Structure 1
Amino acid sequence: MSTKSSSPRYLELDALRGFAVMGILLMNIVGFSMPEMAYVSPAIYGGTDMPDILVWALSFIFVDGKMRGLFTIMFGASLMLIIERAQQNGENPARVHFSRMAWLAIFGLAHFFFLWAGDILFLYAAVGCIAYFLSGLTAEDLFRRALLIFSIGFIGFSVMFGSLLYQQYQASLPGASAAAIENLAQVLADFGSRPGVIAADIALHQSGFAAIFLDKVQNDLFGPIILLAYNLAETLPLMMIGMALYKNGFFTGQWSAADYRRWGVRLTAIGMVILIAIAWGLIHRDFDMLLMLNASYAWTWPSQLLMTIGYAALLIGLIRKCIASLWISRVAAVGQAAFTNYLGTSLLMTFLFYGWGLGLYGSVGRAELYLFVAGAWALMLLWSKPWLNQFRYGPLEWLWRSLARAKLQPMRLL
């Protein structure tokens, strides 16, 4: 059973959230430092030398989508925990939940427009509002409905991006019409693969704060809404799976060590084998742009889902095994202050890479980026536990809680 503090808190949840918020930077670092499409393909930006390809492949197989998935299922588990505690305290769980989501949406919009366009807080707030109405379902029903929604999304995206491959095929035929060739060129341009688009993106992010902010207002005003529409079919089922895993005791350490190990190894291994095959095929095809788009946005859905749950199982097994260790307590502190660490990372990375800070955007190789990740991890691990030894919440956790409850919350530990 979980170790609880007087709050009470589950160490498994805090530590797993800590691993998730640290791991998500492994995925986001490319988005902070390079044009968006570098995340999809190293051939567009980031380099195709052996170290860069190796780093891309390792990220594609072991990180991309899985850390966001882990963060998302943790959000679903936390959602259930908040509802449960509100009920235990005699509070209105709907009022507590929707107040939290409203303020989270505001934080997310501020994050998007003032710091980084890769925000997921607004997405989580909106999807969290939907997920609340499913919180009364059993774990089994949550799983079944989540898999149905996930399957519909996977099929839809596979068809949508697969149609681009058909356009490519039509344009490659002997005697292809000028219209077919032009349409394909426009598709590639729309995804930012042209050198002029890349150069403009680098120039923008190496400029000042005002230019970056105004570009979002003028060209990406509805970006958070578009992101919500695009990610709903993946985010909602992942959140529902997190809710189900909380209900069946998975996230609170109630499974046996053998069960965590068995499910973790099986799911991770299956997903990994699929992704290794896809990565090998993409490298063999010299990172064909439309294949990369299909792989990034459609083909990897099933393997990412398997590995997300597999990672969660393996990490909980590790946490339970090392539950008394000092390093796990530090990771748990990172998770307890995950909101502050997530937004703090955005502030630090945009300062390092954007023009209003050090202006390193577009100038650091893909392999070298992970030195910045290691530095950020060290900061998270160094500050979080000493802070929480003195205070109940991380700084932004305290602010969010105070705003959501319309009352300043006690901060210092007694």
Structure 2
Amino acid sequence: MTTETIARSDRRIVTLDVIRGVAVMGILSVNIVDFSMMQAAYLNPAAFGWPDPASLAVWIANMLFVDGKFRTLFSVLFGASMLLIIDRAERRGESGWTVHWRRMAVLLVIGAAHAILLWRGDILTLYAITGLIAFPFRKLATEKLVAAGLSFSLFNLILFAAIGVTLLRQDVQAHAANADPLDRLNWELNLSSFYPPADDVAEDRAVYGGPWTGIVKHQAGEATDVLTNDLLLLPDTLGLMLLGMAGLRSGFLTGAWDDRDYWRIVRLGIPIGLAGFGALVIVDIASRFYMPTLLTGFESLMVPFRLAMASGYAALLILLSRNMGWIVQRFAAVGRAAFSNYLGTSFVCTFIFYGWGLGWYGKLTRAEAWLVVPFVWLLMLLWSKPWLDRFRYGPFEWLWRSLARLEFQPMRKSGREAAA
């Protein structure tokens, strides 16, 4: 079976798997900060003081090449896969809505359990909620899906620009001579967490360096606040999912376009993205990571540059997937088991950093913590393909599918399937 035939078959679309695999791996490059140290450091690399040269270099590299781009790809692929599953269900005569809401309901439960029992950085709950909202858009024509997706991205840009302006005003007012106590309180509520005092850092290290029960209690207590903050990303996530639907419908994500068109997107998208993020890096360092500037730049002004660069990455990965060599097959397998790899990453990294495991939390610099990333990448590449050579689904894909369909799904491949 040729690559083109596989890409057009009803079983798998290889380009989706490859992009999803690279995306779930790339996300870890920035998420490792949230696994290894206080959340304030995720956005503010100077949260605990000016970073050492190696940590600053890691932050710059992530900001230029990774941060935001792979989350964009992951969200786009979620939208594309969601539409694919709904369309296939309806072609089988099933109710697309029933299949969809069951999948999202199970995902919501798994995401909530993940966020409370394991890792505070969960994105599955946001995806489940956004996925339910995205369902009515599925019948739109490709052009209207693109327009709707970009509209939500524009809304996200305006929203975070307004938030940035508000934070700037609060910072100025709180530190003015004879500042109003209310202004100081607003600053404490909205900005002080990005500049944590030593007592807060010590308390955070005590929680995540302590027993699992203490971590669960802490994360359960913060669940509502975390979800509220996550929902600020809902417009952006919804827009990306709709663009993913458009990418599937148009044939862009399935590899149906001409190579010259993909190369054109690569040559335009990646340099444009690098130019924008390069300017942001310069501004952030020059401002000494002033939080209103950093947040506004990354979450608002970089929206078009992030979309451009993610599109360039997607086009490049599609071109590379034309040749299904062994390394492409490995990345495709990671993508087929992306749900298991995402949750598996949380198990591995929380074991390495949290107190119930090795207890490295808060003890490493950003650069030192990042050295864990290639090790986890290697694990993903090593286990995914051998597992999927023998089984139809990754472990958590099987669980998700079985719970959503209310019956255990066949797991082990037949001899003929394994040989295919």
Asked if these proteins are the same fold (TM beyond 0.5), I'd say yes
- Single out whichever of 147-156 and 240-249 deviates more from structure 2: 147-156
Higher mean C-alpha deviation, range 177-186 or range 225-234: 177-186
Residue among 284, 298, 301 paired with 1:299: 301
Q: Quote the residue 2:354 is aligned against.
A: 354
Match of 2:271 in 1: 269
Judged with a 3 Å threshold, the aligned counterparts in structure 2 of structure 1 residues 139 and 340 are, in CA distance, closer, same or farther, namely same
Q: What's the CA shift string for 1:52-81, capped at 9, x where partnerless?
A: 111111111211111111100000010111
Question: What displacement does 1:106 show?
Answer: 0.8
CA contact (8 A) 1:392 1:413 kept: yes
> What residue in structure 1 maps to residue 18 of structure 2?
15
Deviation by residue 1:293-340 (Cα, 9 ceiling, x = unmatched)? 3334333323222222221112112222xx220010011111111111
2:397 aligns to what SS in structure 1? helix
C-alpha separation in 1, matches of 2:381 and 2:47? 34
Contact 1:46 1:52 in 2 (8 A): no
Q: Give the residue type in structure 1 aligned to 2:367.
A: A
Judged with a 3 Å threshold, the aligned counterparts in structure 2 of structure 1 residues 47 and 327 are, in CA distance, closer, same or farther, namely: farther
Deviations 1:264-286 (A, max 9, x none): 22122112101111111111222
Q: Distance in 2 between matches of 1:257 and 1:22?
A: 25
The 5 Å alignment of 1:251-330 reads 251-320=253-322, 323-330=323-330
41, 45, 49: which is aligned to 2:44? Answer: 41
Partners of 1:126 and 1:405 in 2: how far apart? 19
Pairing 1:116–2:119 present: yes
Partner of 2:377: 377
Inter-CA distance 349–302: structure 2 relative to 1 (3 Å threshold): same
Quote the residue 1:160 is aligned against. 163
The answer to whether the 8 Å contact 2:47/2:194 transfers is: no
Q: Given that residues 194 and 291 in structure 2 are in contact (C-alpha distance below 8 angstroms), is that contact kept between their aligned partners in structure 1? A: no
Distance change (3 Å), C-alpha of 1:202 and 1:293 = farther
Report the residue type matching 1:269 in the other structure.
Answer: P
- Which residue of structure 1 aligns with residue 92 of structure 2? 89
Q: What's the offset of the Cα at 1:384?
A: 0.7
Structure 1 pair 295/202, CA: closer, same or farther in 2 (3 Å)?
A: farther
Q: What amino acid sits opposite 1:329 in the alignment? A: Q
Amino acid at match of 1:245: G
With structure 2 as the length reference, what TM-score do the two structures score?
Answer: 0.93
1:74 is matched with 77
Question: What TM-score, normalized to structure 1?
Answer: 0.94
Give yes or no for contact 1:352–1:360 (8 Å, CA) kept in 2. Answer: yes
Amino acid of the structure 1 residue aligned with 2:395: P
- Rounded Cα–Cα distance in structure 2 between residues aligned with 1:44 and 1:191: 6
The structure-2 alpha-carbon separation of the partners of 1:115 and 1:374, relative to structure 1 and needing over 3 Å to count, comes to same
Residue 246 of structure 1 is matched in structure 2 by 248
**Cα displacement (A) at 1:170:** 4.0
- Alpha-carbon distance in structure 2 between the residues aligned to 1:195 and 1:224: 22
Most deviating of 329-338 and 298-307:
298-307
**1:386 maps to what in 2?**
386
Q: Residue 370 of structure 1: CA displacement?
A: 2.5
User: Which residue of 2 is the match for residue 196 of structure 1?
Assistant: 199
Counterpart Cα distance in 1 of 2:174 and 2:187 = 9
Question: Identity of counterpart residues, as a percentage?
Answer: 43
For residues 201 and 224 of structure 1, the distance between their equivalents in structure 2, rounded to whole angstroms, comes to: 16
Separation in 2, partners of 1:379, 1:131: 33
Q: Matched residue of 1:2: which SS?
A: helix
Task: State the 1:184 CA deviation.
Answer: 6.8
In the TM superposition, what is the alpha-carbon distance from 1:341 to its structure 2 partner?
0.6
Q: CA RMSD in A?
A: 1.9
1:364 aligns with 2:364: yes
How far, CA to CA, are the matches of 2:166 and 2:174 in structure 1?
12
8 Å contact from structure 1 (residues 75, 242) kept in 2: yes
Q: Which residue of 1 aligns with 2:336?
A: 336
Q: Secondary structure at the match of 2:254?
A: coil
| More off after superposition, 382-391 vs 285-294 | 285-294
- CA spacing shift, 1:314–1:202, aligned 2, 3 Å: same
Deviation at residue 242 of structure 1 after TM alignment: 0.4
- The offset of 1:97, in angstroms, is 1.1
Q: Do residues 139 (structure 1) and 145 (structure 2) align?
A: no
Q: Distance in 1 between matches of 2:16 and 2:380?
A: 17
> Does the 8 A contact of 2:24 with 2:342 survive in 1?
yes
Aligned to 1:222, the other structure's residue is in SS state helix
Q: Give me the whole-angstrom Cα distance separating, in 1, the residues matched to 2:389 and 2:268.
A: 38
Matched, 1:64 2:67: yes
Inter-partner Cα distance in structure 2 for 1:62 and 1:45: 24
CA offset at residue 47 of structure 1? Answer: 5.3
Match of 2:410 in 1: 410
Q: What is residue 345 of structure 1 aligned with on the other side?
A: 345
CA distance in 2 between partners of 1:94 and 1:392 (Å): 24
Q: In the TM superposition, what whole-angstrom CA distance separates every residue of 1:180-205 from its partner, at most 9, and x where no partner exists?
A: 87357524324453232222212211
Q: Could you report, residue by residue, the CA deviation over 1:354-401 in whole angstroms, capped at 9, with x for unpaired residues?
A: 001111011122112222110111111111111111111111111111
Q: Would you say how many aligned residue pairs link Structure 1 and Structure 2? A: 410
> Secondary structure, in 3 states, of the residue corresponding to 2:359?
coil
The answer (yes or no) to whether the contact 2:157–2:303 under 8 Å persists in 1 is yes
